A and B are shown apart, each in its own frame.
Chain A
Amino acid sequence: MNVATRNFGAPIRRNEDPRLLCGQALFVDDVELPGMLYAAFLRSNVAHARIRSIDVAAARARDGVVAVYTAEDLGAYWAPGPLLVPPPPIEGITFNQRTQVPLAKHKVRHVGEPLAVVLAQSRYLAEDALNDIAVELDPLPAVVDLEKALTGDARVHDDVRGNIAARVRQSRGDYAAARSRAKHVIARRFLYDHGASQPIETRGIVANWDARANQLTIWDTTQAPVFLRNGLAGMLGLSERQVRVIAPFVGGGFGPKIMLFYPEEVVIPWAARRHNRPIKWIEDRLEHFFATTHERGQTHDAEIALDADGRILGVKDVFLHDTGAYNPYGLTVPINSQCTLLGPYVIPSYDSTFTAVFTTKPIVTPYRGAGRQHGVFVIERLMDVAAHELKIDRVEIRRRNLIPPDAFPYNNEIIYQDFAPLAYDSGNYEPILDKALKMIGYETFIAEEQKKLRAQGRHVGVGVACYVEGTGIGPYEGAKVQVQANGKVSVATGIGTQGQGHFTSFAQIVADQLGVDVPDIDVVTGDTDQFYWGAGTFASRGAVVAGNAVNEAAKAVRQKILKLAAEHFECAEEDLEIGNGEVSVVGVPGQAIKLGALALKANPMRGAVKPGTEPGLESTQYFGPPSGATASGVHAMIVEVDPQTFTLDVLKYVVVHDCGTVINPLILAGQIHGGVAQGVGNAFYEQLVFDDDGQLLNASLADYLLPTALEVPHMDIAHTVTVSPLNPLGIKGAGEAGAIPVGPLFAQAIEDALGLRDRNVELNEIPLSPGRLFELTVKLR
């Protein structure tokens, strides 16, 4: 019997929307509990200093203040956080683990690092009391610039010489040999700075210790509720059952909401237990700029060796990576940069070395793209320089180097962030490129339109950028699917949701397996009392890993339904069909039973049950892919630049993307649109500006510019589909793709619009901005 696929693949409206649209969805700050206390954190206002003293006596004496704590008060509970992602098994690597602490002791290492926490009757009073705390700090030299960090005397961690957080070399083939026989060798320095994720909801946590139930309940804006629960249980000496973590509706995450364990996540539950009262902390936007992790910058010295026809013989890259004051997330970001640089191209030899550097700036952890942008920028810019120097069309040089469709699975022979070899499972790159060129009208634009527009004095250029994205990595996720007595189906999974539409896409998967309408499927994500195994929402993996687990669980429930119904009707399972919320006997009108009635039968009150029978129409299944599925795509755009103000007008923007099988094209389009918007911000509007003292100079949304509806262009999206062989649904992740190639695309298109290449100006850095374009082109004036 075939499974109907009327829901899977359809642009179905989201189940979660009515609640969100009516203002009835629960976000963390909406949790109101009787007797609640409110927390505010005192944060360091300097980047690097020794703490001489913190005097909280006056703050404790203020009316309405219940308690003030510093690191000393935490006693044995005070400890550096865990290393979330250990370094991959790469030979010869250096890794110096230094993780963040709940409240600073002895030393502060970045502006915003928490020094003390105030608990008071209201947030207003808690903030008042912060002003009562007297802190004496002995300032130390800030460590801001990556190259100076390696050679200077100042140390972020006293025992880490040269501020080296890590050094990793990965290679394939023999680059030196490739270089020696190359016709062309091109070397450049590239700077790529990624910014802050800035979800519109900041972080927050509410913790409530219920002494009667012996249970701690935590509402947290986390992307990884299961790990948070397990970790906190361990820290607090509780069993896992005693800790319930709920990630309710979360107002955007994009990576930084994974970071475990933020100081506030350690301190607030501890305090809630100590006071036997609920405590709420909500980050304000100013705090968010310092207290939530960033991604930030890398400096690449890269070299490409090519033959006479522009075929790549090898790439060498040496780069510095800013990891901030601590490195709890291991090497994920720079490993992604190192691996994603290889892109969709055949690169027979590769020699890449990076040094991760401690600085006195906020911690760096993955933010949408998670370092992939940096690598893509390097290879795409190298391709542009090579095209120019070899006098080959930008698109043609890319086409010549694409991995051919018969080469998959394609092994790059280095290790990826999931510890597996970087092997592309499937793909077909040339049709994606062709489709994008056709949609943007590349040939006509170059041959006719651009010339026409230039003759009118307009500065219009085109850009085309390619990328691949390793998505959907393990280790695993799980899901529980259960038919309820009312005929509706409940689905629970351990990952959290921050707007990705899981309540609908997972329901679509189940709907087809069980013949139930999508609105009748109730999906719960991110509540550890509902499901407590899994890793979390990151690396474009929700649909791939949790989606396949949901599918496996739904398939198992389907088998249970058929088995029980066959017993009920005394017929063969093959004679049954599932649909419209019931099971019926094919060809026998009136012989049907509702799924709800069957669910009741599956939990009988009397009678003997055969050994081995499980009650209920329920199943829990897990799915773990052997390695990540590789999505790919091409973005193209036509941009007009105002040569006086250097403001941009994106006239056309095209995305062609292959993420394997599509569950819901509407949700997928939304993911791509949002990714591109963040890419646009990264490319031209957003930059975290630090001064030499490690002070962030633009820590407000008035100064750190998130793109608005006027900066984000209309996008035309198309898909190609190469099904991933790594999971039964054939899915590849799509969450991050939109954001990844926008930087090199902007650089290339702006260069083209202003005719910079012919005048020896290269845009080898991101972000750009009107001011930066003015500086870079001033010599042409």
Chain B
Amino acid sequence: MHPITVTVNGTKYERQVEDRLLLSDFLRHDLLLAGTHVGCEHGVCGACTVIFDGAPVRSCLMFAAQTDGHRIETVEGLAVDRDHLHPLQQAMRDCHGLQCGYCTPGILMTMKVFLEETPNPDEAQIREALSGNLCRCTGYQHIVEAVKLAAERMRK
């Protein structure tokens, strides 16, 4: 067991974790932050993406023990509340960028970092940045439109 201290969405957690405990399982089942979803557990689908010290990472490919002393952001930290969504969340809703919504948290976290680094992206850049996240419902078109719209709103 490892003692860890990790900050998730601004809250500091002190926990004992088993060596092999995946970060995705730690977030979901120990911290009960179940908004981070698990799709493949082999790093392909991107559903479990969280932001680790400012960079998007796949939480199924990390151990909880590796997060000691680090800072994590999950989908639960994006909005103030359901009535005050992050611009990216709002744009996803406005453009119908989600259907079943299972891949959505990973896409939101990936795109959040992308838009911080690329505030004025074109469609090709958005598609490239999205291509590490699998969505089986939407065909991506409305997600691309949502990211464009969010970028536009965030620049204002």
Contacts and interface: CB of A to CB of B under 8 A. Distances in A.
Given A284-B41, A673-B139, A674-B139, A498 B35 contact: no
A677 B100 contact: no
B15 to A, nearest CB: 15
Contacts of B38: 29
Contact of B93 (A18, A23, A124): A18
A709 B33 contact: no
A79 interface: no
Interface stretch (B51-59, B63-71, B74-82): B74-82
A251 B79 contact: no
B144 interface: yes
A30 B24 CA distance: 12
Interface string A728-743: 0000000000100000
A612 B92 CA distance: 49
Nearest to A708: B131
Given A20-B104, A701-B45, A673 B130 contact: no
Contact of A22 (B39, B78, B138): B78
A454 to B, nearest CB: 25
Contacts of B93: 13-14, 17-18, 21
Interface stretch (A148-156, A198-206, A527-535): A198-206
A670 B34 contact: no
B40 to A, nearest CB: 4
Contacts of B139: 670, 672-677, 712, 715, 738
A285 B103 CA distance: 14
Contact of B96 (A18, A252, A669, A712): A669
Nearest to B128: A710
Contact of B34 (A29, A677, A701): A29
Nearest to B77: A23
A45 to B, nearest CB: 19
B140 A709 contact: yes
A407 B81 CA distance: 55
Interface in B99-153: 99-105, 108, 123, 126-128, 130-144
Given A700-B44, A701-B134, A22 B89 contact: yes
Contacts of B99: 252, 499-501, 670, 674
B155 interface: no
Contact of A666 (B32, B96, B100, B105): B96
A211 interface: no
B134 to A, nearest CB: 5
Interface string A1-36: 000000000010110111111111101011010000
A673 B135 contact: no
B156 interface: no
A499 B105 CA distance: 15
Q: Is the interface of B mostly helix, strand, loop or mixed?
A: loop
Given A499-B137, A674-B136, A709-B143, A200 B82 contact: no
B41 A17 contact: no
A30 B93 CA distance: 22
Contact of A678 (B39, B76, B136): B136
Contacts of A21: 75, 78-79, 85, 89, 92-93, 98, 101, 104, 108
Interface in A654-693: 666-667, 669-670, 672-678
Given A18-B85, A702-B42, A13 B138 contact: no
A202 B83 CA distance: 30
Interface string A209-252: 00000000000000000000000000000000000000001111
A251 B37 contact: yes
B76 A23 contact: yes
Contacts of B29: 32
Given A21-B92, A499-B137, A200 B105 contact: no
Nearest to A11: B96
B93 to A, nearest CB: 4
Interface string A117-142: 00000001000000000000000000
A497 B136 CA distance: 15
A706 interface: yes
Contact of B44 (A20, A202, A702): A702
A622 interface: no
A667 B96 contact: yes
Contact of A709 (B44, B76, B100, B131): B131
B98 A199 contact: no
**Most chain A CB inside 10 Å of its own CB: which residue of B39, B81, B101:** B101
Given A21-B108, A22-B75, A677-B140, A199 B20 contact: no
A746 interface: no
A14 B100 contact: no
A714 interface: yes
B89 A200 contact: no
A25 B104 CA distance: 11
Contacts of A251: 37, 39, 100-103
A23 B127 contact: no
A666 B135 CA distance: 17
B47 interface: yes
A80 B30 CA distance: 38
A498 B141 contact: no
A249 B35 CA distance: 12
Contacts of B98: 17, 20-21, 499
A442 interface: no
Contacts of B21: 124
A252 B144 contact: no
Contacts of A17: 92-93, 98, 101
Given A19-B82, A501-B99, A708 B130 contact: yes
A701 B40 contact: yes
26 contacts: A21-B79, A21-B101, A23-B33, A23-B75, A24-B76, A29-B28, A30-B34, A32-B29, A32-B34, A124-B18, A124-B21, A200-B45, A200-B47, A249-B102, A250-B100, A252-B136, A285-B45, A499-B102, A669-B96, A670-B99, A672-B139, A700-B42, A709-B127, A709-B128, A715-B139, A715-B141
Interface of B: 18, 20-21, 28-29, 32-42, 44-45, 47, 74-76, 78-79, 81-83, 85, 89, 92-94, 96, 98-105, 108, 123, 126-128, 130-144
Interface of A: 11, 13-14, 16-25, 27, 29-30, 32, 124, 197-202, 249-252, 254, 284-285, 498-501, 666-667, 669-670, 672-678, 700-702, 706, 708-710, 712, 714-715, 738
Given A200-B39, A701-B44, 8 more contacts: A21-B75, A22-B76, A202-B39, A252-B99, A252-B100, A252-B136, A285-B40, A499-B99
